[in-house]
Amino acid sequence: MFSEFLQYLFTGITIGATYALIALGFTLIYNASHVINFAQGEFLMVGGMATVSLTAMGVPMLLAVVLAVILAGVLGIALQRLAIAPAKNADVVTLIIITIGASIFIRGLAQLVWGKEYHVMANFSSDEPIQVFGAVLNTQSLWVLGVGAILVAVLVYFFTRTLTGKAILATSMNKDAARLVGIRTQVVLMLAFMVSALLGSIAGIVVAPITFTSYDIGIILGLKGFVAAAIGGLGSGMGAVVGGLALGVVEAMAAGYLSSDYKDAVAFSMILLVLFFLPRGLFGAKVVERV
């Protein structure tokens, strides 16, 4: 009985950690520009696919990971420079639609370059799962959780202690005021896209051994990440983490105790409930309209 519960919990936390990492990427760009970047899932895909294809070409794992993350970072910058920046005076909805277009473009490109097959990536460490009170835990889950925790800590440090991080926050609060105090807001935006791409690609790499990877893996994971971000309250880093974990655990519990048929329905009704009672999400900022 307890081992069952523990099993569902492990499953939920692992998936949840993935959702949380994706949600963090959404949050980052949303904070800097109020744009919801629907190409976030694509960064995840690029990270996983590039690592797989580089290792297949004989590049050592660690180098492949670094190169894949750099590639995603460059892609993030390119997305901002080539697609978002030229439309700088457009309103937010237009920019969001641009990101959807960009995600379709990146997916199409990936399909041409890497083909349509699913690919495997080996576990980072042992394939032997760990036994905990009768439940089993994949060692890769520990990697996902560990890497996730480190990234969250780094992000918190970045936003509260570094000048660049503060510049991003300032830009999100008031673009004009930020520019007046000497922040180059276009550079800040570019930075936000790059960091969020790095984040996405790292998430894509650590989960690839669990989920496999293919050119279209970003669609559903990106969507779930967005749900997690919305539950947590868009723009809140803490909310993204809590939202992601909650979504993952609820999904796994629903599959275990209710019915696997309704698993996704439960997850998506959760967002309805949360937004119904807390329109700004669990940790959403209170917005005060100045008259």
Partner 1 sequence: MFKTITRCASKFVAIAAVSLLAMNVHAADPIRIGSFLSVTGPASFLGDPELKTLQMYVEKINEKGGVLGRQLELVHYDDAGNASKARNFASRLIRSDRVDIIVGGSTTGATMAAVPMVEQARIPFISLAGAVVITTPVKEWVFKTPQSDYMAAVRILNDMKTQGLSKVGLISGTGGFGSSGREQTLKAVKEIGGIEVVGDETYSGSDTDMTAQLTNLRNVKGVDTILNFGFGQGPAIVTRNYDQLGIELPFYQSHGVASDGFLELAGDSAEGLRLPASPLLVPESLPESDPQKPVVEAYKSEYEERWDAKVSTFGAYAYDGLMLAVAAIEKAGTTDKAAVREALESIQGHVGVTGTFNMSADDHNGLKADSFRILEVRDGSWKLIN
Where on the chain is the footprint of partner 1 (CB under 8 A)?
A: 4, 7-8, 10-11, 14-15, 18, 116-118, 120, 127, 129, 136, 138, 207, 210-212, 214, 219-221, 252, 255-256, 260-261, 263-264
Element spanning 74, H or E: helix 61-78
Contact 150, 198 (CB under 8 A): no
Q: Output the smallest distance, CB 222 to partner 1, in A.
A: 11
Q: DSSP class of residue 143?
A: H
**E strands within the chain?**
130-132, 135-137
Residue 201 beta carbon to partner 1: minimum distance, rounded to whole angstroms: 17
Instruction: Report angle CA 94, 275, 24 to the nearest 5 degrees.
Output: 60
- 176 vs 261 by CB, closer to partner 1: 261
**Cβ–Cβ contacts within 10 Å for residue 286, how many?**
5
Question: What are the structure tokens assigned to 53, written together?
Answer: 């294809």
92/120 with CB nearer partner 1: 120
Question: Across the strands, what pairs with 119?
Answer: 213
* Contacting residues for 133 by C-beta, under 8 A, at least 6 apart: 2, 3, 6
| HSE value, Cβ hemisphere, 13 Å, CA-based, for 30 | 20
CB 170, min distance to partner 1, A? 37
| Comparison of 148 and 233: residue with beta carbon closer to partner 1 | 148
157 vs 257, beta carbon nearer partner 1: 257
Minimum Å gap between C-beta 128 and partner 1 is 9
**Please, which residue, 165 or 256, has the CB nearer to partner 1?**
256
Amino acid at 287: V
Tell me how far, at minimum, the Cβ of 150 lies from partner 1, in Å: 22
Q: How far is the CB of 73 from partner 1 (least distance, A)?
A: 25
For the beta carbon of residue 65, count every other beta carbon within 10 angstroms.
Answer: 21
Q: With respect to partner 1, which residue has the nearer C-beta, 209 or 284?
A: 209
